[in-house]
Structure 1
């Protein structure tokens, strides 16, 4: 099968593209050509690279033609962020391609009222990113239900892997959090730390896409959550992270106003965006229809990422990892 991966040099593609090559597929990666995959793999030598600026070609109305001209059997779109972009691609591939798979986000839902969230049963999204991702998923489902192109949307949580900073225990990317936990100093947390974070290793997301391609009939017209088997809350992740450095977690509950006063606006806003949602998503549908079996629990995935950052001098910590 000839498979086009749009944006295959990023987090998910780093693992998905080699998986597809190992499965015997002919793979073409469309990207801007400005970066390499996060992890080396010999399979990349068998991948055809096509350079294209998605944003510019969408503006020019030619990106769909660029993809269709490659005559793919399936297309995996990892970098679609607007309904207009999704519609343009669908209309160009309709009748010419067997399967379009889209990378969504669990932020297609808003703040959690029930856990776990089953596909399609979360609250209404907020924020441009979540609203757009939800609309794209709806468009794709309607397309297939109406007898058009076979589509599938997969919705990852907070993607983790070696080579980039993970969303940390406070729901943000503040590297000082890791220094604080490694030293045994007190970490100020907003509220009581009961809000959940739903991480997933990038390779487990890649597994989900590969399975959806393999089980096209079961996946067509469906949407799936692809997250870790469990989710951790703020205090649970902070406690685990402290133990990685041989420390006992020391946590101080503060109000959101106090938390904001002690950090940057960017870190505070990122924390609020993650923790106010407090999402825990079900993977039962993906398990049942696709055979999805994520290999990483969230803490194991984060530890792997953290170890890479420390080994490559990307973050400073006061004590070494003991695990």
Structure 2
């Protein structure tokens, strides 16, 4: 098939596009062209690159025509964030493209009421990003149910892999936590550290998209959560991470008020946004309908990311990894 990937130079596309090429597809990557993939792969030589600024062209109303003009059999949209953008693309591709696959987020679910969170029992979303992602899911499902364009949405957790910082044990991207853990220094934890974060390796997300392309009929009109087989809570994540440096995590419970006072405002807000959701998400549906079989446990995916950052001088730690 001819598959157009929108935003394929990012986390997921780094692994997805080589998978599609190796499977024999004719692949076009539409991106701003400002960054190469995070991991080198010779298959990129066989990918047609199209430079486009999605945000600008969405405002001008020209982006859907650009994608339709490539005459794809399937479109994988990794960078759609608003219902208006999704609607415009759906209406232009209806009747011309066989399958539209959308990348959502587990943040389409709000703070957990019951775990594991399934596609059917998730709480209503909170925050602009999650509300928008949930609205896109609804419009895509309605489009397919009404006999229009065949669509599928896949919803990753916190994506990790080589080349970028993972969501850390405190639910933010502050690299200081890794220095403290590697040195055996105390870590202030808001609450008791029982909140879950659900990571997923970028290649496992790529695997799910590839499976949805292959199993188009089973995926038609469906939404799937795509995460690691298990989830880490704050205290477990910190203890596992400290052990990578031969240390024992020293965790000091503090109130959220104290945590906000003693941490950078952006970092504290990011921690709250991740931890208040307390996401531990089921992959049973993706396993049953797509054959999704993630290779990485969350700690293995995070370790790969941390190792890459250390090896490339992008993370300051007090002691070397022992694993």
- The two structures have a TM-score, normalised by structure 1, of 1.00
Give the Å deviation of 1:315: 1.1
1:204 corresponding residue in structure 2? 204
Cα drift, residue 105 of structure 1: 0.2
In 2, Cα distance between the equivalents of 1:127 and 1:282? 22
Q: Does residue 123 in structure 1 map to residue 91 in structure 2?
A: no
Q: Deviations over 1:209-230 (max 9, x none)?
A: 0000000000000000000000
Instruction: State the 4+ residue runs in structure 1 displaced beyond 3 angstroms.
Output: none
Unmatched 5+ residue regions in structure 1? none
1:160 aligns with 2:166: no
Aligned position for 2:172: 172
**Could you say which residue in structure 1 is the equivalent of 2:149?**
149
Per-residue CA deviations over 1:41-75 (Å, capped at 9, x if unaligned) read 00000000001111111111111100000100000
Q: 1:273 — aligned with what? A: 273
Residue 88 of structure 2 is matched in structure 1 by 88
Q: Deviations over 1:216-251 (max 9, x none)?
A: 000000000000000010000000000000001110
Aligned to 1:130, the other structure's residue is in SS state: helix
SS in 2 for 1:169: coil
The 1-side partners of 2:184 and 2:148 are apart by 57
Partner residue in 1 for 2:69: 69
Structure 2 residue aligned with 1:311: 311
Q: Distance in 2 between matches of 1:213 and 1:89?
A: 18
Q: 1:113-144 CA deviation, whole Å, 9 max, x = no partner?
A: 10001103211111110000000010000000
Aligned partner of 1:3 in structure 2 is 3
1:192 aligned residue: 192
Specify the alignment match of 2:264 in structure 1. 264
Following superposition, the deviation at residue 205 of structure 1 comes to 0.3
SS of residue paired to 2:164: coil
Asked if the contact 2:114–2:121 (Cα under 8 Å) also holds between the matched residues in 1, the reply is no
Question: What is the Cα-based RMSD across aligned positions, in Å?
Answer: 0.5
Give the length in aligned residue pairs: 323
Deviation per CA, 1:239-273: give whole Å up to 9, x if none: 00000000011100000011111110000000000
Q: Is the 8 A contact 2:156 2:205 kept in 1?
A: yes
CA distance in 2, matches of 1:59, 1:194: 43
Post-superposition Cα deviations, 1:165-184, rounded to whole Å, max 9, x if no partner, equal: 00000000010000000000
Per-residue displacement from partner, 1:139-173 (whole Å, max 9, x unpaired)? 00000000000000000000000000000000000
C-alpha distance in structure 2 between counterparts of 1:179 and 1:34, whole Å: 31
C-alpha distance after superposition, 1:2-40 (max 9, x if no partner): 000000000000000000000000000000111100000
Which stretch shifts more, 120-129 or 190-199?
Answer: 120-129
What CA distance in whole angstroms lies between the structure 2 residues aligned with 1:209 and 1:116?
22
Distance in 2, matches of 1:51 and 1:316, equals: 35
User: Which residue is 2:58 aligned to?
Assistant: 58
Residue 29 of structure 1 pairs with residue 23 of structure 2: no
| 8 Å Cα contact 2:104-2:156 kept in structure 1 | yes
Name the structure 2 match of 1:138: 138
State how far apart, in whole Å, the 1-side matches of 2:313 and 2:261 are: 29
Q: Deviations over 1:279-302 (max 9, x none)?
A: 011000000000000000000000
SS class of match (2:90): helix
How far apart in 2 are the matches of 1:51 and 1:319?
42
Q: Which residue is 1:298 aligned to?
A: 298
